[in-house]
Amino acid sequence: MNVKKCFICFKNCYTCFDLACDNENLLIAKYLLESTDVNITLKGVTGKKFIQIVSLIQNNCHQLNRLLSRGIKKYSKNTIINAIKKINPLKIQKHILDFCQIKNPFDNKFSEFVKIVDNLDVPIDSSHMPGAKIIEKK
């Protein structure tokens, strides 16, 4: 990994996310994205590795969209499209869908929209509803 020297301490500085992405096992990068508010830098991350990382993120839509937004600034449109083609469009922010020229899922017919909702793979937190339990899709 070739990272420029820090302008403050003049040393080679790596974020924990940089190091996790440089590793063959991307589960550390997945953990950092899904469970922390890690600084997403994408230093030294190739387009291919970016696609692999995006495909791992399932449980934190906020971080997924932060990652994709940073990716838009660094990678080609085709790389971003390849990264999100298997992700449910309800997880992706409108500006990213617009960038990739993907139809907004809310613009579909109701029957098509229901299919998209049924394919969501995240738990629905209904804890704010009296007497409700968390419903998980199996």
In a domain, 55, yes or no: yes
pLDDT tier at 131, thresholds 50, 70, 90: low
**Secondary structure class of 28 (helix, strand, coil):** helix
Average pLDDT over residues 56-78: 92
pLDDT value of residue 3: 45
In a domain, 116, yes or no: no
In a domain, 118, yes or no: no
In a domain, 78, yes or no: yes
pLDDT tens digits for range 79-125: 999 999 889 998 999 999 999 999 988 898 999 988 988 888 765 55
For 14-20, the CB contacts below 8 A with 24+ separation are 14/43, 15/39, 15/41, 15/43, 17/41, 18/43, 18/44
| Domain boundaries, position 38 | 16-103
pLDDT value of residue 13: 64
Average pLDDT over residues 52-63: 90
Number of structural domains in the chain: 1
Please tell me the pTM assigned to this model: 0.76
pLDDT value of residue 15: 78
pLDDT tens digits for range 1-55: 444 444 444 455 667 888 888 888 999 999 999 999 888 988 889 999 999 999 9
